[in-house]
Chains A and B, each alone.
Chain A
């Protein structure tokens, strides 16, 4: 307690000169993530992305040293996220807020970014509305409508599917995924023949899959969280003969990420998914990225969280270069607007109007390559924007 008192007093007394002497040397970035609790793994993957970028590009930009201050929210806790953002701004005097794996936490901290006029880089949270909550927010991940709306259109136009049955987990992201896929699909001319929701933590899909079988659709669109569920669903579908090529199976990228593919085995073959990042995409930049990521993380492969953190840091570095080290929120957000670059995920840019990410959406099919199941890109849709921002 005594040291804290002393520190607080020193802070008050020394505020005058320390801020001018100190702030010129460093740029402080406050990273708010759920490092503990059920989303700890996502936070660690995201941070590994941040670290890799700093390792490759040094920790000095525009003559200033980059300093990262990490804060743990402990799970989906917007009140804690907001408090941490407040503390980072008033106590640690950070220049930039970053991280935000979960939508509620990003929304909670958004007010602070608006009031304190700090650049806030959302590196994952994927609900459309996030960037509208503060004029200083910019996103480097993806939005669920962005990939799924484009996917819905593609399914009818190029996929040649006329009727789809949707089966999604009963929570926010699931609802978003279903509505945006259905929107894209029906706008293109397709028909949704049935829609069903499963509980978020659902060990057994047999009843739901039986209903799908009764509806006898041409294709099924599923959205379920990663972990043990993809394998359980894959098994339930295989048991009833609802796997490709009999019935087409659509989903978002998590469904077939490497760990899920391993547990699903043969039943995964032929599943078509959509995503903004594909680990196996053969591209010099991506290959280099995957290689150094694995070296730095004991062979673990990067995922969507990692690429969000990696590109988020790129955005911060480039914006600082553009402003010549000016860390004001207004200067940084102006620099970030409209910025475009080539990332390991492919070409991407920041929409100058919505400050949201614009990128290539990949359509991938699970195929066997050299005896291993992989997501093979079968189509690319360039420069996709989030469809919901424009709708306003």
Chain B
């Protein structure tokens, strides 16, 4: 990660310059509206891509920026998914409030977990996050009176968004809703990573020992970003529940935690759009490949991952950025 060093004179100017919207970003968001007009029959897939992208961005905040290697973020995704489902099952199917409550609940759990997370590093950190995720999974499995166990939660019914937009068969409402949430999540994440707080997170990632020496409270910072990330992952889970009216143990699975890391590596960590691009590539490839051969499509995903990691160690977006810089 080469970041041009801020000159001492105008650190705020530097930050402001970094946070300006680029042409590519604007083009990306305009393009994100294309499915409404060109690929209507792909809207259900597009909405699940947007949801997964939000989840990937939440992981990028902790993994890509703060260097907290996590293999258990599906825990927050699943907690969000189950809380949204349970609220709806209890008779309150309003999506927006459900989304907020689910996000806050995941955030609360994230805050509590963060006290342990900041005390461990490296391999131990991976084990702890993985352990948390597995524990939550087993908890949800054994509390089948609440969660429905392996059959999944039944009776989830989401009301129309704002009382107007019904979740339709084509997926217009689902994609619009998920895209809006992804946009908000990215705006918020941009704000975070292009702030002095965001810079101190990178400092933690690069050299955690040095941060206390320059007077930075790294544990506090880590707890903050971990909680924010948990809220975001919880919201992504809640979105999945609300757009599909289903919740199952699969939302908490290790597979989901691992897949999202694969998407991040594909797209490039430590750059928010890397998470989004990685998600799009992974899910579109998965959809197309599994149509061609439903049994053995994972082979091609594995091949894709190896090619990307070998030829583009910084992920697809990271390498593109590097190419662009070289040409300048």
A residues neighboring B (CB under 8 Å): 4-5, 8-9, 11-12, 33, 35-36, 40, 44, 70-72, 74-80, 82-83, 86-87, 89-91, 103-104, 107-108, 111-112, 115-116, 127, 129, 170-173, 175, 200
B246 near A79 with CB under 8 A, answer: yes
Whole-angstrom CA separation of A170 from B296 in the bound complex = 31
A108 near B246 with CB under 8 A, answer: yes
Q: Which residues in B have their C-beta under 8 angstroms from that of A89? A: 169
B residues neighboring A (CB under 8 Å): 38-42, 44-45, 48, 141-142, 144, 149-152, 154, 169-171, 240, 244-251, 255, 290-291, 294-298
Beyond the given pairs A8-B39, A70-B294, A127-B151, 16 more chain A to chain B contacts, judged by CB atoms under 8 angstroms and listed by A's residue number, are A4-B39, A5-B38, A35-B295, A36-B295, A36-B297, A36-B298, A44-B295, A72-B290, A79-B248, A83-B44, A83-B45, A104-B246, A104-B250, A108-B244, A172-B151, A175-B149
Whole-angstrom CA separation of A75 from B253 in the bound complex = 11
Question: What are some 9 contacts across the A-B interface (CB < 8 A)?
Answer: A4-B39, A35-B294, A40-B295, A44-B295, A75-B255, A78-B247, A79-B248, A86-B169, A108-B248
Would A171 and B240 be within 8 Å (CB), given that A90-B169, A112-B169 are in contact?
no
Q: Which residues in B have their C-beta under 8 angstroms from that of A90? A: 40-41, 44, 169-171
B151: which of A35, A107, A111, A115 is its contact (CB, 8 Å)? A107
Distance to closest chain A CB from B143 (angstroms): 12
Q: Which residues in A have their C-beta under 8 angstroms from that of B297? A: 36, 72
Would A107 and B246 be within 8 Å (CB), given that A116-B169, A127-B151, A172-B149 are in contact?
yes
A104 near B152 with CB under 8 A, answer: yes
Q: Which residues in B have their C-beta under 8 angstroms from that of A129? A: 151, 154
Would A76 and B244 be within 8 Å (CB), given that A9-B38, A44-B295, A107-B154 are in contact?
no
B144 near A91 with CB under 8 A, answer: no
Would A170 and B142 be within 8 Å (CB), given that A36-B295, A76-B248 are in contact?
yes
Whole-angstrom CA separation of A15 from B152 in the bound complex = 37
A171 near B42 with CB under 8 A, answer: no
Q: Which residues in B have their C-beta under 8 angstroms from that of A4? A: 39
Whole-angstrom CA separation of A116 from B149 in the bound complex = 28
Q: Which residues in A have their C-beta under 8 angstroms from that of B144? A: 172, 175
Would A76 and B48 be within 8 Å (CB), given that A11-B41, A71-B291 are in contact?
no
Distance to closest chain B CB from A218 (angstroms): 30
Whole-angstrom CA separation of A328 from B309 in the bound complex = 49
B248: which of A33, A78, A87 is its contact (CB, 8 Å)? A78
Distance to closest chain A CB from B156 (angstroms): 10
Q: Which residues in B have their C-beta under 8 angstroms from that of A115? A: 169
B150 near A172 with CB under 8 A, answer: yes
B48 near A83 with CB under 8 A, answer: yes
Q: Which residues in A have their C-beta under 8 angstroms from that of B141? A: 170-171, 200
Whole-angstrom CA separation of A175 from B170 in the bound complex = 37
Q: Which residues in B have their C-beta under 8 angstroms from that of A83? A: 44-45, 48, 244
Whole-angstrom CA separation of A129 from B149 in the bound complex = 14
B41: which of A33, A77, A87, A175 is its contact (CB, 8 Å)? A87
Distance to closest chain B CB from A82 (angstroms): 5
Q: Name which residue of chain B comes closest to A33, CB basis.
A: B294
Whole-angstrom CA separation of A38 from B251 in the bound complex = 16
Q: Which residues in B have their C-beta under 8 angstroms from that of A127? A: 151
B41 near A111 with CB under 8 A, answer: no
Q: Which residues in B have their C-beta under 8 angstroms from that of A200? A: 141
Q: Which residues in B have their C-beta under 8 angstroms from that of A108? A: 152, 244, 246, 248
Q: Which residues in B have their C-beta under 8 angstroms from that of A35? A: 290, 294-295
A78 near B246 with CB under 8 A, answer: yes
B290 near A36 with CB under 8 A, answer: yes
B246 near A72 with CB under 8 A, answer: no
A8: which of B41, B45, B151, B249 is its contact (CB, 8 Å)? B41
A77 near B248 with CB under 8 A, answer: yes
Report which residue of A4, A36, A103 has the largest number of chain B beta carbons within 10 angstroms of its beta carbon.
A36
A111 near B248 with CB under 8 A, answer: no
Q: Which residues in A have their C-beta under 8 angstroms from that of B295? A: 35-36, 40, 44, 72
Report which residue of A82, A127, A200 has the largest number of chain B beta carbons within 10 angstroms of its beta carbon.
A82
Distance to closest chain A CB from B141 (angstroms): 7
**Across the A-B interface, the 8 shortest Cβ-Cβ residue pairs:** A91-B41, A35-B294, A72-B294, A172-B150, A78-B246, A104-B152, A108-B246, A83-B44
Q: Which residues in B have their C-beta under 8 angstroms from that of A40? A: 295
Whole-angstrom CA separation of A281 from B247 in the bound complex = 40
Whole-angstrom CA separation of A12 from B36 in the bound complex = 13
Distance to closest chain A CB from B94 (angstroms): 19
Whole-angstrom CA separation of A129 from B154 in the bound complex = 10
Q: Name which residue of chain B comes closest to A76, CB basis.
A: B250
Whole-angstrom CA separation of A298 from B219 in the bound complex = 60
B171 near A86 with CB under 8 A, answer: yes
Q: Which residues in A have their C-beta under 8 angstroms from that of B151? A: 103-104, 107, 127, 129, 172
Q: Which residues in A have their C-beta under 8 angstroms from that of B44? A: 82-83, 86-87, 90
Q: Which residues in B have their C-beta under 8 angstroms from that of A112? A: 169
Distance to closest chain B CB from A203 (angstroms): 17
Whole-angstrom CA separation of A12 from B48 in the bound complex = 23
Distance to closest chain A CB from B239 (angstroms): 11
Q: Name which residue of chain B comes closest to A111, CB basis.
A: B245
Distance to closest chain A CB from B243 (angstroms): 8
Distance to closest chain B CB from A197 (angstroms): 9
Q: Name which residue of chain A comes closest to B157, CB basis.
A: A111
A78 near B244 with CB under 8 A, answer: yes
Whole-angstrom CA separation of A367 from B217 in the bound complex = 72
A78 near B38 with CB under 8 A, answer: no
